């Protein structure tokens, strides 16, 4: 069985979560057979830095992750409805950096809304964050729920990427 490396990204200007998984195809239709976590964590930027500096830091760290793991695809959270416009703009700017990195590395991008992630992992679009995190733990056979939340969210996106054929 060949492996399939997926990089999940939960974008944000202050904290960008990432999760790298390896998935092996199953013999039948539908979902992947075996998934395992390779690495997860967060890219954190300082609020003392200017926005361009913060975006550059995200860019540089993402480039390092892409070069290190050479993912077959990148799964990223898509911008959806936000009550706070400032938050939406910050997420959109970080997403732009992710999309640029993917394009420069000729890596296909899959986009998922939070509703799609919840539905994909729990079969319930209104699942609580804790339910999604528990499924990440279970599906990746981890000893505990990944921390911080941004990294768990990125792993959930990577799982969605593994479950979706390009």
Confidence of residue 166 (pLDDT cuts 50, 70, 90): very low
User: Is 22 annotated among the ligand-binding residues?
Assistant: no
Active site residues: 10, 77, 150
pLDDT (tens digit, 9 = 90+) per residue, 29-85? 555 568 999 999 999 999 999 999 999 999 999 999 999 999 999 999 987 666 777
- Letter string b/e over residues 43-53, b meaning 16 or more CB atoms within 10 A of that residue's CB: bbbeeeeeeee
User: Is 150 annotated among the ligand-binding residues?
Assistant: yes
Rounded CA-CA distance 51/62 in Å is: 16
What's the mean pLDDT when you consider all of the chain? 90
What CATH number did the domain enclosing 106 receive?
Answer: 3.30.420.10
Which is nearest to 79 in space by CA: 97, 66, 93?
A: 93
Other beta carbons within 10 angstroms of residue 131's beta carbon come to 14
Rounded CA-CA distance 130/132 in Å is: 5
User: In which region does residue 38 sit, left (phi positive, over 0), alpha (psi from -120 to 50) or beta (all else)?
Assistant: alpha
User: Is 72 annotated among the ligand-binding residues?
Assistant: no
Count of domains forming the chain: 1
Structural domain containing residue 95: 4-163
């Amino acid at each position: 069985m060949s492996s399939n490396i997926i990089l999940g990204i939960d974008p944000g200007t202050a904290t960008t979560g990432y999760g790298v998984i390896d998935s092996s195809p199953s013999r039948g239709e539908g979902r992947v057979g075996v998934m395992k976590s390779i690495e997860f964590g967060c890219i954190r930027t300082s609020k003392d830095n200017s926005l361009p500096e913060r975006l550059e830091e995200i860019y540089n760290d993402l480039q390092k992750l892409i070069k290190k793991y050479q993912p077959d695809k990148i799964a990223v959270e898509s911008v959806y409805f936000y009550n706070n416009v400032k938050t939406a703009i910050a997420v959109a700017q970080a997403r732009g950096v992710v999309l640029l990195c993917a394009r420069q590395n000729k890596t296909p991008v899959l986009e998922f809304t939070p509703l799609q992630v919840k539905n994909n992992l729990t079969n319930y679009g209104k699942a609580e964050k804790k339910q999604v995190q528990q499924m990440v733990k279970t599906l990746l056979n981890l000893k505990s729920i990944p921390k911080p939340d941004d990294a768990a969210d990125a792993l959930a996106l990577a799982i969605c990427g593994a479950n979706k054929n390009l």
